[in-house]
Chains A and B, each alone.
Chain A
Amino acid sequence: MSDSYSKCTMCGKIIKIKTKYVSEKIDDSYYVFDSEYCAMIFKRFRSVYGKDFCWLYESPKL
């Protein structure tokens, strides 16, 4: 995460600066999550739906 605010890719919550977060590189793209749980279920959805379900990949940056 850079110096800007981010949103959790999965639940959409704002991740404040200097708070703990999870970053995952998936297929050459980086995604940020506010918890391990969100990272895990994102991977589940991605695995079920595949790459074509673009609604799952809306830009997380504010």
Chain B
Amino acid sequence: MTKCIAFHSYKGGTGKTTLACNVAALLAKKGHRVFLLDLDVSAPSIQAYFEKEPKKWINDFLNDNAEIDDIAVDMTSLVTETDDGATENKVGALWVGFCNPKKEEIYKLEGGKEENSKMQLLRKLILLREHIISEYSADYIIIDTSPGIRYWSINALAISDILFLALKMGELDIDGTKKMAHDIYDSLTKYGAKSYLILNRVGGFCVPSSDHKHSHNLIENQESDVGEKLAKTVGMKMISAIPCYCDIQFSKREYLTVLKYPDHPFAVQIQHLIEKDEIKV
């Protein structure tokens, strides 16, 4: 049974794209069949992690100008090759559907939607999910959504089984998340979706002393307390608390930490996340 997981947030800059890409890559590396979709249509950024120029985009599929095979970019080689060039034993698969960052393409999906085209676009999205399940036998569909309450983020959340709501430890973010949990998530979880908080980029572990080696233990010790308070405030269970790692946050280029530095504490955090019962297929 395919699990469709959406990564969402109230504000931008919570690290949801980094989380979505790394979760997708690690699940595939562990032998699962994964399809990653960039549905942050107003500010697509998944391309930066994969450095790939697709022939066709998700936009083309949604606008009836491409088939699913045209937009599915096979990135499996990234996750199956080991450092010494050999291949992993358990073979997974990773496909990525990229979203076109050109402004005219963004306008087509975001702006000036007429009532009937809204429904058509939504139906194409439902069809996309269906094709990914039937033609690619995906174990997981991972969706990176637009932040906040928008047409495309609601669409992405509504077609998903599991909703990960990423937030940072700021009052504005927590207040907004709380409101969004009430306004949107309650409506979705009422009809079968499961939602969880991911506290991301938790400060206090990198400056001035970068003790990454123990950051996992530190955050684990704090997790129950912070999680309890946050869960109570927002009204949603916290599934993970991930420290801020400056080397990732302030890197000039995006990269997949779980593949490039598999022993990095962030990769360990992602490993813990994908091992949770809540997301197992």
Which positions in A face B, CB cutoff 8 Å? Answer: 10-12, 38, 40-41, 43-45, 47-49, 54-56, 58
Contacts and interface: CB of A to CB of B under 8 A. Distances in A.
A41 to B, nearest CB: 5
B279 interface: no
Given A54-B115, A55-B115, A58-B119, A41 B159 contact: yes
Interface stretch (B39-47, B140-148, B185-193): B185-193
B123 A47 contact: no
A44 B188 contact: yes
B115 A44 contact: no
B184 A48 contact: yes
Contacts, number: 43
Interface string B172-198: 000000000000100110111100000
A12 B123 CA distance: 7
Given A11-B123, A12-B123, A44 B116 contact: no
Contacts of A44: 158, 187-188, 190-191, 193
Contact of B187 (A38, A47, A56): A47
Nearest to A10: B126
Interface in B86-121: 115-116, 118-119
A56 B119 CA distance: 6
